[in-house]
């Protein structure tokens, strides 16, 4: 009996140790960046609320940033593993600075806005325009100018971060801005009457503005962790599509802000499920969107010789995570 008992104890002990080791091994630490607006935060907010990181074996350290380019810098510096970026920062993956691992939403939040006396894009000639450089607000401004036979040379572009755009617009330091919701709503709430001169929808379907999730070039070497992260993203965006009002409240609580501006922002995008994105990945639509944005940045002189989307979007990894 003593021998049998010892054997049983050994088996139980070994099993416990193996389970404990597996548990520790599963909790992979990842550093995930986000931007403090609805589409920049909702995925991580929902994932945290539903405990999706833990469910998929990840211990997520969440870090807030003001824009996409700064997050790409952090990825390159090794202080961040994954990040959310808007379409205005996609020129960075297109130049090899990161890899796109999943889609987020098709943005329609970007606007070119102006003071009431400025009625058209052409009226911006010679005016000061506040723009977070290298963002989707920058891209929409460039597209709007181009559509009207103009370029940045025809206006006085003033690079500034989003919060500074709000302050500068409110104090009269700039006449217009290339900015996005909820900042547009904040400006409107403070000033009342402003004009929206252009937006993403003006260029659809020739140009689509997907926001995405990216991984650092070092992070993608760990395929298992990338797979776990994509699974988190897929579950979170499905919840967001199926529960839009709850997702706004979850995001507002996460950020500690009034949900009203986030609600306004949430209505300015095409929100798709993971399955809907799967179909668009399979039929080549996503590659076309990414290639189009990269070519536009090349036309704008922002980049030279961008990589094809097939090299910087990990489509196979994204689809594999659905299995």
Q: For 171-217, give the secondary structure using H, E and C.
A: HCCCCEEEEECCHHHHHHHHHCCCEEEEEHHHHCCCCCCEEEEEECC
The residue written with tokens 């937006």 in the block is: 199
pLDDT at 25: 57
Number of compact structural domains in the chain: 2
Is residue 87 pLDDT above 60, yes or no?
Answer: yes
In this prediction, residue 11 carries a pLDDT of 43
Position 26 scores a pLDDT of 61
Angle subtended at Cα 291 by Cα 306 and Cα 110, rounded to the nearest 5 degrees:
105
As a whole-number percent, the residues of the chain with pLDDT over 70 amount to 92
The backbone torsions φ and ψ at residue 179, rounded to the nearest 5 degrees and listed phi first, read -150, 180
pLDDT band at 2 (very low <50, low <70, confident <90, very high): very low
**Which SS3 state, helix, strand or coil, does residue 104 take?**
strand
Query: In this structure, is the dihedral angle defined by the CA atoms of residues 182, 187, 188 and 189, taken in order, positive or negative?
Result: positive
Dihedral sign computed on CA atoms, order 130, 133, 139, 142: positive
Residues 23 and 158 in one domain: no
- Residue 205 pLDDT greater than 80, yes or no: no
pTM for this model (two decimals): 0.78
d(CA 35, CA 71) in angstroms, rounded, equals 9
Query: What mean pLDDT comes out for the span 100-115?
Result: 95
Residue 217 lies in a domain: yes
Q: What percentage of the chain has pLDDT greater than the value 90?
A: 79
316 and 214, same domain (yes or no): yes
Residues 214 and 316 grouped into a single domain: yes
For residues 107-113, give the mean pLDDT.
92
Q: Residue 21's domain spans which residues?
A: 8-106+210-320
From 179, 203, 227, the end of a domain falls on: 203
Quote the CA–CA distance of 280 and 319 in Å, as a whole number: 11
Each residue of 118-164: pLDDT tens digit? 999 999 999 999 999 878 899 899 999 999 999 999 999 999 999 99
| Same domain? 69 vs 152 | no
Tell me the mean pLDDT in the region 31-45. Answer: 97
Interacting residues of 212 by C-beta distance below 8 A, sequence separation 6+ = 84, 85, 87, 90, 93, 100, 101, 102, 103, 104
Residues in the chain: 323
Provide the 3-class DSSP secondary structure of residue 91. coil
Token pair belonging to 81: 């593993």
The C-alpha atoms of residue 141 and residue 152 are separated, in whole angstroms, by: 9
What DSSP state is assigned to residue 283?
T
Lowest mean pLDDT segment, chosen from 43-52, 114-123, 182-191, 247-256: 182-191
Is the same domain home to 175 and 288? no
Q: Do 99 and 141 fall into the same domain? A: no
Are 131 and 78 in a shared domain?
Answer: no
Cβ atoms of residues 197 and 59 within 8 Å: no
Predicted local distance difference test score (pLDDT) of residue 268: 84
End-to-end Cα, the chain, rounded Å = 48
Tokens of 74: 């952090």
Predicted pLDDT of residue 23? 44
Do 17 and 163 belong together in one domain? no
Summarised one tens digit per residue, pLDDT across range 229-249 is 999 999 999 999 999 999 999
Same domain? For 31 and 115 the reply is: no
> What local confidence, expressed as pLDDT, does residue 181 receive?
87
């Amino acid at each position: 009996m003593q021998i049998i008992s010892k054997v049983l104890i050994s088996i139980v002990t070994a099993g416990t140790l193996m389970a404990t080791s597996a548990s520790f091994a599963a909790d992979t630490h990842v550093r995930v960046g986000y931007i403090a607006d609805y589409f920049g935060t909702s995925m991580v907010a929902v994932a945290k609320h539903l405990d999706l990181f833990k469910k998929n074996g990840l211990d997520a350290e969440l870090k807030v940033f003001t824009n996409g380019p700064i997050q790409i810098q952090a990825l390159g510096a090794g202080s961040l593993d994954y990040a959310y970026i808007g379409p205005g920062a996609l020129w960075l993956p297109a130049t090899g600075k990161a890899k796109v691992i999943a889609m987020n939403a098709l943005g329609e939040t970007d606007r070119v806005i102006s003071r009431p006396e400025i009625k058209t894009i052409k009226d911006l000639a010679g005016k000061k325009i506040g723009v977070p450089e290298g963002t989707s607000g920058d891209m929409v401004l460039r597209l709007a100018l181009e559509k009207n036979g103009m370029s940045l040379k025809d206006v006085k572009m003033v690079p500034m971060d989003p919060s500074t755009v709000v302050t500068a617009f409110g104090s009269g330091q700039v006449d217009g801005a290339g900015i996005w919701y909820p900042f547009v709503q904040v400006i409107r709430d403070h000033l009342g009457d402003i004009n929206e001169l252009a937006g993403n929808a003006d260029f659809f379907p020739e140009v689509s503005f997907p926001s995405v999730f990216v991984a650092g070039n070092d992070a993608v070497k760990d395929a298992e962790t990338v797979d776990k992260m994509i699974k988190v993203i897929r579950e979170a965006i499905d919840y967001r599509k199926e529960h839009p009002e709850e997702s706004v409240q979850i995001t507002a609580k996460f950020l500690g802000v009034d949900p009203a501006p986030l609600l306004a922002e949430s209505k300015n995008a095409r929100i798709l499920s993971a399955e809907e994105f799967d179909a668009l990945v399979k039929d080549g639509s996503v590659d076309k969107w990414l290639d189009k944005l990269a070519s536009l940045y090349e036309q704008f002189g922002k980049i030279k010789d961008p990589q094809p989307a097939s090299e910087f979007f990990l489509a196979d990894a994204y689809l594999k995570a659905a299995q």
